[in-house]
A and B are shown apart, each in its own frame.
Chain A
Amino acid sequence: MKCWVYDGAMTMIFGIPVQAFLGQLLVGLINGSFYAMLSLGLAVIFGLLRVINFAHGALYMLGAFIGYLLLTRFGIGYWPALILSPLIVGGFGVVVERLALSRLYDIDPLYGLLFTFGLALVLEGVFRYYYGVSGSPYSVPPLLSGGTNLGFMFLPNYRGWVVVASMIVCFGTWALIEKTRLGSYLRAATENPGLVQAFGVNVPLLLTLTYGLGAALAGLAGVLAAPIYQVSPLMGSDLIIVVFAVVVVGGMGSILGAIVTGYMLGLAEGLTKVFYPEASNLVVFVIMAIVLLVRPAGLFGRDA
């Protein structure tokens, strides 16, 4: 098979200009970064709380909007927003868990799903009422404007930053869960919450903090996304369906699975855009269907 063909001055891969190819791969990597951050939060929440958090997309949207409002109402810029917005969304998550979700643990898990779905509708409805469905732009912070010529392609600095930031966030969360004392409580409580609480660990508090952490991760992803996609009430619902597919492919509750699968499916989407653009919105779901047929527990899931 001919892989590299010189066509005049332009380098080609599979008959596609290398620039376009790498450009789509980058788009895929950027999307994958958001898939990874969001599915990570979903996986952590599902693992411990057994709640399928349908509000995750809305929390991501909330993060982006808080960043936007901090800037437009209070003149607070991108970098402080990167800290403040996840804190606010995380705090919102803590309140939601304490007031509502924690009352649903003892009954059918469907109620948790219905509640978070309703919460997503309410959040999106509120923002749609005030801001409409058209997006509002959020400009790239000056420090990261412009781009870098990598020789083989032009990389917008902000997109490079998003990829790096998401990898730091994903690795940091993974390390928190796999390598710390707090993380060992979390893993143990995922396996057997009653026994961990009988040992004297305040598991209800752990559940609250976990939902807060998941919400904060979604909020952070929202702020990171604001300069790339527009800030819009529907930005979360557009993304969340794919993110659920990522969680299913990775295996429900698997932290590493969620991260790796997030990047992988982002790249798969990018590659499909190069070779068969019509299928790029479908490819994630095709992969999901294949994985469900071959390995129902997901690529990284433990068989029950």
Chain B
Amino acid sequence: MTDAAPLLAVRDLNAWYGESHALHGVDLEVFAGETATLLGRNGVGKTTTLRAIIGLIRQRTGQIFFDGKDLMRLPLHRTAQQGIGLVPEERGIFATLTVDENLVLPPIVAEGGMSVEEIFDLFPNLKERRNSPGTRLSGGEQQMLAIARMLRTGVKMLLLDEPTEGLAPVIVQRIGDLLATMKKRGMTILLVEQNFRFASRVTDRFYLMEHGKVVAAFPVGELPDRMTLLHEVLGV
């Protein structure tokens, strides 16, 4: 933990889907180079939090500062240019684009991203299938592609929504390794996970969500002491 200002600071974030009030004042901070994880049951607002931060949900109030800039004022396409990227829960691989086209779709927002060749070195099976339609890939490969394409853009921070959902254990293992590699390269990550055992391998900090707000925040080292709370809130 540093004394510096957090890279991402969210205060009193409220969000609505039409009439339905989904977030009730979320507060969280993620420091540069850190991985933080949002835990919580289905429907408590984890995905909504990520979507409101990136700006896909426009019905929102509160404060979102990224790298000192106020994201609330920016139109959606200017948010990514500040250096923050989303890997959505449904992965967002485009069926009418080839693997190659999917990979280079997000515009480069800053220097320091990986080149296509470096990415293909890291994901050889994407290279083999670079000309197939994106959605012909397996679920695991699609998840790799969804993460890989953000690595090219030079973003400083990734919002990762349940990257392990529905994937085989061996793939989950690989995604864990990938997150570790990204962290080593200095990437800041806000992760949404149901699987806190997976998350505890990569995260520095947990935020526990319930009913559209953060109810507990603690570093990964306190996980053993918090198990009772976790069982209560997650119902596991």
Q: Which residues of A contact B (CB under 8 A)?
A: 181, 184-185, 187-188, 190-192, 194-204
Contacts and interface: CB of A to CB of B under 8 A. Distances in A.
Contact of A200 (B56, B77, B92, B104): B77
B85 interface: yes
B95 A191 contact: yes
Interface stretch (B105-113, B200-208, B209-217): B105-113
A76 to B, nearest CB: 39
B206 to A, nearest CB: 25
B95 A185 contact: no
B94 A199 contact: no
A240 to B, nearest CB: 27
Given A195-B88, A200-B109, 9 more contacts: A187-B97, A188-B94, A188-B96, A194-B76, A197-B77, A198-B54, A199-B106, A200-B78, A201-B106
B163 interface: no
B80 interface: yes
9 contacts: A181-B104, A184-B101, A188-B97, A194-B56, A194-B76, A195-B86, A197-B76, A199-B106, A204-B75
A191 B94 contact: yes
Contacts of A199: 77, 80, 85, 105-107, 153
A181 B153 CA distance: 15
Interface residues of B, number: 25
Contacts of B106: 199-201
A181 B107 CA distance: 10
A110 to B, nearest CB: 19
A45 B96 CA distance: 17
B94 A192 contact: yes
Contacts of A195: 56, 86, 88, 92
B79 interface: yes
Contacts of B92: 192, 195
B132 interface: no
Nearest to B149: A199
B140 interface: no
A5 B101 CA distance: 55
A46 to B, nearest CB: 15
Task: From A184, A185, A192, A200, name the one whose CB has the most chain B CB atoms within 10 angstroms.
Answer: A200
Given A184-B101, A194-B56, A201 B94 contact: no
Contacts, number: 61
Contacts of B105: 184-185, 188, 196, 199
Contacts of B54: 198
A187 B76 contact: no
B46 to A, nearest CB: 17
Given A184-B105, A188-B105, A200 B81 contact: yes
B55 interface: yes
A218 to B, nearest CB: 24
Nearest to A183: B101
Most central of A185, A195, A198, A204 by chain B CB within 10 Å: A198
Contacts of B77: 197-204
A197 to B, nearest CB: 4
Interface string B68-101: 0000000111111100011010001011110001
Nearest 6 interchain pairs by C-beta: A200-B80, A199-B106, A187-B96, A184-B101, A197-B76, A195-B92
B94 A198 contact: no
For A181, A195, A196, A199, the residue with the greatest tally of chain B CB atoms inside 10 Å of its CB is: A199
B25 to A, nearest CB: 23
A194 B75 CA distance: 12
A204 B78 CA distance: 12
Contacts of A201: 77, 106-107
Nearest to B86: A198
Nearest to B159: A198
Given A196-B105, A199-B106, A190 B96 contact: yes
A195 B91 CA distance: 10
A95 to B, nearest CB: 21
Given A184-B105, A185-B105, A203-B77, A198 B96 contact: no
A199 B107 CA distance: 7
Contacts of A194: 56, 76
A115 B26 CA distance: 41
B109 A187 contact: no
B161 to A, nearest CB: 12
A301 to B, nearest CB: 13
Contacts of A202: 77
